[in-house]
Amino acid sequence: MGGGHVSRPDFGMPQPDPNHPLTEFYLALQHALDKEGSFALPALYAGFQAPARRVYADEAAEYLTLSSTAGEGMTRLLAPGHLQLLYSSLHVMPDGAPAALLLTEECTRTVFAVQLLPPFVWEDPLPPLPDTPAALTLTLTMQDVEAIDTDPAALGRRLVERTEGKRWLHHPRVETFLAERVALFQRVYRR
């Protein structure tokens, strides 16, 4: 049975490129998650500003606004909280560019994609997010860039524990919210 020699320990999967600027940030975040076991999630508020007419499901997302803070006309879909981590994995593109950290929630086994955004203008397009039920971005600050060289463990803990800089891209509750708003507009503006 091979004599104990593992010929492909990475199972042929792409490995993160150590020269990619975001790799060390993803790895610091992943190491902190392994130690802490939870990830702070921001609140999720949604607003729907559609014209006074019948709205269809395929266009509803155009009128949707997501925020992590309350605003006028916004509905809270999710309170700030903590995701209890079952496990995490780094999703890497074939060229080694890290795309997102995939977090699996302990109880529901829902997968959340966390994409790190650099604090400066980025010329190349970021790798596409993997298809997951929920996704959010975490924008790094210039302080984070300085901290990666001095104390990556402290930076990882801060990224795990804080909600600042985190913004929801999509969540299952958003789909429900949109479906409810479309149904409401369908009823109100019947022909």
The predicted-structure confidence for 40-85, as pLDDT tens digits, reads as follows: 999 999 999 888 888 888 888 899 999 999 989 899 999 999 999 9
**Residue 121 clears pLDDT 90, i.e. is over it:** no
Query: What pLDDT is attached to residue 1?
Result: 46
In angstroms, the Cα distances linking 179 to 31, 58, 176 are 38, 11, 5
Enumerate the domain spans of the chain.
Answer: 37-189
E strand residue ranges, the chain: 38-41, 44-48, 64-67, 75-78, 81-92, 98-105, 111-117, 134-139, 166-170
pTM of the entire predicted model: 0.84
